[in-house]
Structure 1
Amino acid sequence: MSVAPPSQQQARIPFYRDTRIIAVLLQIIFLFVVVGFIWFLYSNMMAGLRRSNLLPNYSFLSQPAGFPISESPIPYDPGRTYGYAFIIGVLNTLRVSVIGVVLATILGVIIGISRLSSNWLLRSVATGYVELVRNIPLLLQLFFWMIMSQAFPRIQDSINLGGLLYLHNRGVTLTWMREGSSFGAWLIWIGIGGLAGVILYIARRIQFVRRDRPGVALPWALLLAAGVALVGFIILRISSGTWPLALDIPELQRFSFQGGITITTNFAALIMGLVIYTAVYIGEIVRSGIQAVNKGQREAARALGLTPGQTLRLVIFPQALRIMIPPMTSQYLNLTKNSSLAVAIGFPDLFSVAGTTLNQTGQTVPVMLIVMLSYLSVSLVTSLLMNWYNKRIQLVER
């Protein structure tokens, strides 16, 4: 006996009661509301700028800037354009970010490991450092380091540290490397060494894959590249009579130092503040990452006869690194964005250059868009690199 199918009248659900249709309609309505709100804000902004005769345009980027920049990694003078000044600001921000990330990572790893030390004094000092620094605002710390840098004597009475480093109220002057007459030829040797290192690295990786065995190729490749560069360095010294690189020792003249390199107080205070502040959070990430590794890993390493140092370096830290990378990425991004506080202590980073440009041109919207896109680009590149490294070190299940 067959069962009669339900009628279409009973099977069909009215569209106003169909949850699928309602969900789509609500999303469409929400999209229209958001677009309408953005258009409302944009129309009001453009109307206000039109009344003030300040319609956005980027023609000012090709006009002479007319203002000096105290620190620049590349040549600059006030006759350069606003666009060139923005490039200087971006380079200064990148310089602070890269140096700050490297130093903060080193200090943070030391602090994180010290927090887990069995030595009571070392553990207490690290804990006190963390509790003190993270409870003081970063801007206040930058002011503190700026004031401390001004406490050094004037340049004529600089504190001499072995004739290679001088401390004074204008910054730190230290010995640096200068190019010799054979530096260009040495670059060829460096290129040959780099190529040889790449070839060795690829060959070793192929060998490991064929043998289906783990192995380390990068240290040997770097050693080969450094060895070729060192051989070229010595050969050029013997053949030309001059070193490709030589020490440029600073000498005190009447009003300033001649030779070497001078790190200004603004730059030094900014680096000190960012590194000391960010290292606290990196240290906590390192500590929690190490503690997250299974206790059985330590017991297995101890059973194999490894020392505590070997256990940390060979067993615990590589596994903790997989946990630490994602939150450390956030701290690297925070350090880059916090570098905008440099405007408070007079360092000419991107935000400082943008502020001067905005005051002179009145082009608020274009200048702010350039600043936001610059920080966004740096943050996205940093995230991309860290995510790539995080993917490289993840465990691959077979």
Structure 2
Amino acid sequence: MTATAFPLPIAGLWRRWLPALAWTLVLGGMAAMLVLHIEGVQAARGIQGGFGFLFQPAGFRISESLLNVAPEDPYWMSIAAGLVNTLTVAIVAIPLATALGIALGLVGLSSHRLAARCAAIIIAPLRNTPVLLQLFVWYGLLLRLPDMRQAWSPLPSVLLSNRGLALPALHGWLPYAVVALAVLALGWRARRRWGNGALAASLVVAALAWPLLPAVQVDLPVRRGLGLQGGWQPSIEFAALTIGLVVFHAAYIADIVRAAVRAVPVGLVEAGQAMGLTPWKVLRLVIAPYAMRVALPPYANQCLALVKNSTLAIAIGYQELMAVINTAITQTGLALEGIALAVAVYLTLALCLGGGLSAWNARHSRHGPGDTHGARLGERPLWNAAGSKARPWRGRLASAVLAVALAVAAWTLLDWAVLRAVWQGDPSACANAAGACWAAVGENLPLLFFGTMAEPDRGPALVACAALLAAIAVTLAARRAPPRMRAALLAALLAVAAGALTGFPWGGALIGPQRWGGLLVTLILAIAALAAAVPLAFALALLRRSGNRAGSLAAAGLIEAVRGVPLVTQLLFASFVLPMLLGGGVSKFSMALAALTLHTACLLAEVLRGALQAIPPGQMMAARALGMRPALAYACVIWPQARRIAAPAALGVFVGAVKDTSLVSIIGVFDVLGAAKAVVAGTAWRPYHVEVYLAVALLYLAASLALSRVARRMEGRAGLR
């Protein structure tokens, strides 16, 4: 009798997971070596590593927080106060941005063309200019408010001045809020099981328990001398940060609302109308529930982006989480520990917020989206689709009122920006002017263009900027030219720019990155980051889709970590940690370029991964059947299709990368925005910060609109194909 050998499943699992285990050990070993190297560098500087500093006195005061923190309190309390400030901004800004975004989105869907055009005009500059630049504009405008003695009082006990906003404060409201939320949650669950009687009973119990809670005290702000006493007094920095984030993200939420409503099937709307529902009920009971399911995933991304963009408060002096951690790193020198804390906190916030919204989406989408066949609302105006039949005289009256308001606004803007503007001269020429002071831009053009570059370096820098701008124009505009001619012209322009900065071949002086500034830094950062991010993104997308579990998990972990951590944190990580890893001598430009490249590559990798997933597997199988190797199949068959599919979304990532170059000023890179800050920092031109920032905003707006137009053109071509 012969014995039969049965394959052991353990052996198969071992062969399956051995490569992944090996990759994990290798990557873990490399990470451990890097950490040990950084700790060695810190020890050589006399810095004792570890998280023990959290229990040491911080030595600095948190000027504004719901938690009272003194300088003698430990670092962990200061960091907790910064986290509370971040959460406060998010709790206030997210509902306001949602409401404003929904309003703009619905106006953009209106059948009234003038109203829809106004919404588009409002949204376009907000989407296509950097949020940091908008924060500076709002901060400067709020500083122009009257002082405390002449504070505005739009409502009783509400005061607005250049020191901030003063509101009545409620003390002792937290127990009432907890009881109300608990009663509503329990009553709603009981209602689903036992009917409306259970909800009524829970409300009666809450009413009986209400008198047992402590009394609520109202604290009103009162003028005392040159200041205020009492109430809740959020600072001007908090107000600027909140307004900037609300307005910026409302523009994106408006586009999400428009796209979600247009995705509603026409059949559902017609069914609601056939049932005799009024236009308002069609909107509330048919369009809104379906659109909410479509809009929730991108809306969740905007909420996460708002939380991450709150780190920009570091630039205007508001002490949120990242600003407090940056102060702690500066005092203790523990860069690795501080950045690790920031990464852990922001990833936790992203997981909690994203997980909560995902659970809500899964709960309300478990029955399916309903009718998914047939035509969509598409370009049909919302109010017509909902069945609204407004009277002609109402439409004409609304058009007349809106036209008058637009005419008044246009005349006011023209009068301020052109008719009464001062175009040249010193600050004294603008002192008594009623219009814009464009002389602040004209007199400081050398600083905006060249930064602090020496006079002999400005000529070659101007040549390099002109060549780079021409190369961008060739890339974006010369689409009908033959590819070889376009490539040759592009190579020639890049060679001119490189020759101007290196002095080759005519023997000029080398101008290194340490001497760059102004527009040159912005152009080179944007071009170099995008050029380096494309191959890295393609490699990450392929690695994440590969069959190698360890490689796929490593790529997924890197992409999700970079996407979940604010770019400001990544820039600070590059600024503090890269010199330790590379032994010093790393320019700030190189640090900023590394952070921007990795951030853009991880965002672009997800776009490319989606495009690769949209290509049928039979394409690769057919290419392999023809005898192509995998590399040749990807180059000749897969990549051309993926590039065409991903082009519109990829150009959206490119627009974001161009705007993200404005953040490098946080770590001391002297780009265009940094030069504008230097102009405004001077006492002479400080009152005219709006004009300076508007000039910089026009530069970013032109670049973003050019890329957006190319994206729409590519999207149209892809749709025709």
Relative to the length of structure 2, the TM-score reads 0.46
2:90 counterpart of 1:90: no
Match of 1:104 among 84, 97, 109: 97
1:174 to partner: Cα distance: 2.3
Match of 1:204 among 191, 202, 214: 191
2:100 counterpart of 1:113: no
In the superposition, relative to structure 1, how do residues 391 and 190 fare at CA in structure 2: closer, same or farther (>3 Å)? closer
5 Å-filtered alignment, 1:353-364, equals: 353-364=324-335
Name the structure 2 match of 1:291.
262
2:52 counterpart of 1:59: yes
Name the structure 2 match of 1:68.
61
Deviations 1:305-339 (A, max 9, x none): 22322211110110111111111111111111110
In the superposition, relative to structure 1, how do residues 129 and 227 fare at CA in structure 2: closer, same or farther (>3 Å)? farther
Contact 2:167 2:233 in 1 (8 A): yes
1:35 to partner: Cα distance: 4.2
Match of 1:46 among 39, 56, 72: 39
Contact 1:325 1:390 in 2 (8 A): yes
Name the structure 2 match of 1:338.
309
Identity %: 32
Contact 2:104 2:119 in 1 (8 A): yes
Give the Cα separation in 1 of the matches to 2:307 and 2:191: 37
2:247 counterpart of 1:276: yes
1:244 to partner: Cα distance: 3.5
Name the structure 2 match of 1:122.
115
In the superposition, relative to structure 1, how do residues 324 and 361 fare at CA in structure 2: closer, same or farther (>3 Å)? same
- Whichever residue aligns with residue 204 of structure 1, its letter is R
Give the Cα separation in 2 of the matches to 1:159 and 1:354: 35
Unaligned runs of at least 5 residues, structure 2: 1-12, 371-721
Deviations 1:68-102 (A, max 9, x none): 11101011111111111111111111111121111
- Whichever residue aligns with residue 78 of structure 1, its letter is P
**SS class of match (1:260):** coil
C-alpha RMSD of matched pairs (Å): 3.3
Match of 1:319 among 290, 302, 322: 290
Give the Cα separation in 2 of the matches to 1:95 and 1:62: 25
Deviations 1:342-385 (A, max 9, x none): 00000000111111111111111111111111111111110111
Give the Cα separation in 2 of the matches to 1:385 and 1:283: 22
Relative to the length of structure 1, the TM-score reads 0.80
- Whichever residue aligns with residue 60 of structure 1, its letter is F
5 Å-filtered alignment, 1:13-28, equals: none
Contact 2:168 2:219 in 1 (8 A): yes
- Whichever residue aligns with residue 44 of structure 1, its letter is H
1:204 to partner: Cα distance: 2.4
Match of 2:125 among 114, 124, 132: 132
Contact 1:189 1:232 in 2 (8 A): no
**SS class of match (2:128):** coil
**SS class of match (1:177):** strand
Name the structure 2 match of 1:170.
163
Name the structure 2 match of 1:3.
none
Name the structure 2 match of 1:10.
none
Name the structure 2 match of 1:367.
338
Give the Cα separation in 2 of the matches to 1:319 and 1:247: 42
1:162 to partner: Cα distance: 4.1
Deviations 1:216-260 (A, max 9, x none): x69x94x87677767877x79xxxxxx933543322121212332
**SS class of match (2:327):** helix
Contact 2:82 2:319 in 1 (8 A): yes
Deviations 1:275-306 (A, max 9, x none): 11011111111111111111111112222222
**SS class of match (2:76):** helix
In the superposition, relative to structure 1, how do residues 362 and 275 fare at CA in structure 2: closer, same or farther (>3 Å)? same
Contact 2:101 2:250 in 1 (8 A): yes
**SS class of match (2:233):** strand
Give the Cα separation in 1 of the matches to 2:17 and 2:232: 64
- Whichever residue aligns with residue 311 of structure 1, its letter is V
5 Å-filtered alignment, 1:367-386, equals: 367-386=338-357
**SS class of match (2:362):** helix
Unaligned runs of at least 5 residues, structure 1: 1-19, 209-216, 237-242
**SS class of match (2:149):** helix
**SS class of match (1:71):** coil
In the superposition, relative to structure 1, how do residues 40 and 123 fare at CA in structure 2: closer, same or farther (>3 Å)? same
2:246 counterpart of 1:244: no
Contact 1:141 1:273 in 2 (8 A): yes
Deviations 1:108-131 (A, max 9, x none): 111111111112232122111111
- Whichever residue aligns with residue 206 of structure 1, its letter is R
**SS class of match (2:145):** coil
Give the Cα separation in 2 of the matches to 1:196 and 1:150: 44
Name the structure 2 match of 1:17.
none
- Whichever residue aligns with residue 361 of structure 1, its letter is T
In the superposition, relative to structure 1, how do residues 228 and 146 fare at CA in structure 2: closer, same or farther (>3 Å)? farther
Give the Cα separation in 1 of the matches to 2:109 and 2:206: 40
Give the Cα separation in 2 of the matches to 1:120 and 1:231: 54
In the superposition, relative to structure 1, how do residues 30 and 199 fare at CA in structure 2: closer, same or farther (>3 Å)? closer
Give the Cα separation in 1 of the matches to 2:177 and 2:26: 63
Pick 1 or 2: higher relative contact order, CA cutoff 8 A, min separation 6: 1
Contact 2:187 2:202 in 1 (8 A): no
1:161 to partner: Cα distance: 2.4
1:33 to partner: Cα distance: 5.1
Contact 1:190 1:228 in 2 (8 A): no
1:197 to partner: Cα distance: 4.8
- Whichever residue aligns with residue 249 of structure 1, its letter is L
- Whichever residue aligns with residue 270 of structure 1, its letter is L
**SS class of match (2:234):** strand
1:203 to partner: Cα distance: 3.6
Name the structure 2 match of 1:144.
137
Match of 1:309 among 269, 280, 288: 280
1:195 to partner: Cα distance: 6.4
Name the structure 2 match of 1:4.
none
1:25 to partner: Cα distance: 7.7
In the superposition, relative to structure 1, how do residues 245 and 188 fare at CA in structure 2: closer, same or farther (>3 Å)? closer
Contact 2:90 2:307 in 1 (8 A): yes
- Whichever residue aligns with residue 371 of structure 1, its letter is A
